[in-house]
Amino acid sequence: MTASAVVTARPSVTISGLGPKRDRADPCTVVIFGAMGDLTKRKLMPALYELMKEGLVDPEFAVLGVGRESCDNDDMFRARMRESIEQSDEVHGFDPALWNSLCERLHYTCVELTDGKEYSKIDARLSEIEAKRAPEERNRLFYLAVPPSIFEPIVRNLSESGLAPRTRDAGVRPWVRVVVEKPFGRDLETATNLNQLVLSLFAEHQVFRIDHYLGKETVQNVLVLRFANSIFEPLWNRQWIHHVQITAAEDVGVGTRGRYYEEAGVVRDMFQNHLLQLLALTAMEPPYTMSAGAVRDEKVKVLKSVRWLDSEAIPRNAVRAQYRAGPINGKLVSGYIEEKDVDPSSTTPTYAAVRLYVDNWRWNGVPFYLRSGKRMKKRVSEIAVTFRSPPHLMFGHQTRGVLQPNTLVMRVQPDEGVNLNFEVKVPGAAVALTSEVEVAPVDMDFTYDEVFGETSAPAYETLLLDVMIGEATLFTRSDEVEAAWRVIDPLIHYWEEHPPDQMPTYAAGTWGPREAEELIVKDGVRWREL
């Protein structure tokens, strides 16, 4: 039996330190490389539309789409962007008047992105767009919504063409900022080389390495939950916490991204960025202030404390697998090796589970179990902190070995919120006759939309606004990227150098392979069924 408790919200308090206070972003031109691509249509353009709806962008805001695909004029680009906004599930109602206002701000130019001579076309269009602005208001945001293979030539061409000059400090106007999508490199060596290149061309304050997970409400709420509530932080250590499970499960397969996924796999795609970011936020020490530098300093300390996986430890602490055919919502779906652009003999993992330890004073001996996979039973991402069981239960034999430990769950997606379970006595007088107390778990469940009456802003809406105002807290710093790769790099290379004789598999629509259960059952732990 599980009961539920109602959660209500009291009047809110604003916490300072998350960047400068302002009514809206600076005037700027958002230059999107890969403007005809999937990311632009599904995420970036709907986010910009919503920011306009909320009055958070400046009246002089504009967008210049840049891509290889030829367009006769701006109208073709505008028509495609309108279609993407109308079809988006991240847009709350299509307003023709608002669209008309955005439409006149959209421009497009066809450029061969790797050819530096072509960047004069971008310069010409920017001169037209910025002509009516004062020089100090000609701010530029360059967004690289392109495959990682062409990051290097684009940043070189931006710098060498003079479109994106290096600036001395964050207060210089007009500002220039460059947004780079994940994955940032494909291993430690390439990430280090890319960092060296980018930082030779731009200052750190100009570079925004984006991880859309960090734009989700619950991820940001982790810090508030931990550091604004004294009931949690005294227990947030090895003495009271038994283990932590971090899950990022997807019910979709690789779809049309088979070629990309063959190169990336689940570890590069999810662990190096999303899951290690969630681990860092869960395990970090309190920053002295809620500023970008202070928060990122503490995250880097955690990542540097994660125990490295070597060739002897990996077989005991990590599991990989591929999804095979199975039912999803009553429909049979294909296995991974049957997907388009996937090698039928592929050993690329679509699922991985890893046991990690953070070797510092707070977390010594506490296992962090990370798992992620495609074609799992449902789409859900969460951080589950499981506390230690009471040392002794005096409520009768029926409760011993039955009562579950208290668990605090922070749901990242969907239904963003927080859940806390604890035990209570079931009402009744029978205890006087039996000397046994009937105990039942109660869930206290909080969701943002139920309590605050509104849907959380999509991650890209939050992150794009942060770039426009220069708030870097939710973006990864160069040393943070490299620290994360140092954790994951040995695992990737070990698995590539030691392909399995027979790849473990799991049926689509399940929670993963049998080997994943065997990985943690020796610790007296089971994976949560979400």
Catalytic residues: 274
CA distance 351 to 515: 11
For residues 196 and 16, what is the distance between their CA atoms, to the nearest angstrom?
33
Q: Distance of alpha carbon 213 from its chain centroid, rounded? A: 2
Cα(296)–Cα(161) distance, integer angstroms: 32
How distant is the alpha carbon of residue 304 from its chain centre?
A: 20
Question: DSSP state, 410?
Answer: E
| CA-closest candidate to residue 166, choices 201, 209, 208, 123 | 201
Cα–Cα distance measured from residue 173 to residue 163, given in angstroms and rounded to the nearest whole number = 14
Q: How far apart (Å, rounded) are the C-alpha atoms in residues 296 and 281?
A: 10
Q: How far is Cα 61 from Cα 101, in angstroms, rounded to an integer?
A: 11
Strands (E), 379-426: 380-387, 407-413, 417-425
Integer-rounded Cα radius of gyration of the chain: 25
**Which residues contact residue 81 at a Cβ distance below 8 angstroms, ignoring those fewer than 6 apart?**
40, 41, 45, 65, 106
Cβ-Cβ contacts under 8 Å for 397 (sequence gap 6 or more): 436
Cα gap 51→361, rounded to integer Å = 43
Sequential DSSP letters for 288-308: SSSSHHHHHHHHHHHHHHBPP
Q: Which of the 8 DSSP states describes residue 306? A: B
Rounded-to-integer distance, Cα 273 and Cα 276, Å: 6
| Coil/strand/helix, residue 326 | strand
DSSP letters spanning 360-383:
STTTTT-EEEEEEESSBSS-EEEE
Q: How far apart are CA 530 and CA 527, in angstroms?
A: 9
Alpha helices in 104-216 (DSSP H): 119-130, 151-160, 188-201
211 in Cβ contact with 274 (< 8 Å): yes
Here the tokens at position 185 are 């490199």
